[in-house]
């Protein structure tokens, strides 16, 4: 992040990788493997424990324009997504991206944040009762 911005935009914060925690859960990994909704390239054997695979498990669907071009998708008959996020981000940084590319990159990033929030919220609802959730919030404040 500091390479991109030249400084840490949140110096008093800690980064939390919510996807990492979910990827360590044997039940969700098993479900992703069983459904095989997302896979890497033409290799149907290599399962992706990606955010997009996790989104599908939670009923969240991205439009094809903001799905990764390096993944293939069952609901697209094995076809790829259209988003080349690193190339697009590089063009945005260099100032050579079109307005449409900038908008798609923004939509891609917003989708990541929104879906991780929805997945985290749904997981908390399943794991903790109301009293436990209230107690957790008081501790985090």
Identify the pLDDT of residue 57: 92
**pLDDT(23) > 80:** no
Identify the pLDDT of residue 41: 85
**pLDDT(140) > 90:** no
Q: Which residue has the higher pLDDT, 134 or 22?
A: 134
Q: 79 falls in which pLDDT band (50, 70, 90)?
A: very high
* pLDDT, tens digit, 9 for 90 and up, residues 24-78: 788 888 999 999 999 888 777 878 888 999 999 999 999 999 999 999 999 999 8
**pLDDT(16) > 90:** no
Residue recorded with tokens 């929104």: 114
**pLDDT(5) > 70:** no
In 8-27, which positions are buried (b, 16+ CB within 10 angstroms) versus exposed (e)? eeeeeeeeeeebeebbeeee
**pLDDT(1) > 60:** no
Going 22 to 25 to 28 to 29, the CA torsion angle's sign is positive
**pLDDT(141) > 60:** no
* pLDDT, tens digit, 9 for 90 and up, residues 91-106: 999 999 999 999 999 9
Q: How many CB atoms lie within 10 A of CB 85?
A: 17
H or E element that contains 79: strand 79-80
Whether residue 61 contacts residue 55, with contact meaning beta carbons closer than 8 Å, is answered with yes
Residues ≥6 apart with Cβ < 8 Å to 56: 35, 37, 38
Whether residue 78 contacts residue 40, with contact meaning beta carbons closer than 8 Å, is answered with no
In sequence order, what are the beta bridge partners of 83?
A: 68
């Amino acid at each position: 992040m500091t390479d991109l911005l030249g400084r840490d935009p949140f110096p008093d914060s800690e980064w939390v990788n919510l996807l990492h925690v979910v990827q360590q859960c044997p039940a969700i990994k098993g479900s992703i493997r069983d459904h095989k909704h997302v896979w890497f390239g033409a290799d149907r054997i290599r399962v992706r424990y990606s955010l997009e695979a996790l989104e599908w498990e939670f009923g969240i669907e991205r439009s094809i324009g903001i799905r990764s071009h390096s993944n293939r998708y069952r609901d697209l008959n094995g076809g790829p997504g259209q988003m080349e996020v690193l190339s697009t981000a590089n063009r945005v940084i260099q100032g050579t991206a079109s307005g449409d590319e900038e908008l798609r990159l923004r939509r891609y990033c917003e989708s990541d944040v929104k879906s991780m929030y929805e997945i985290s919220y749904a997981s908390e609802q399943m794991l903790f009762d109301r009293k436990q959730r209230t107690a957790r919030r008081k501790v985090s404040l």
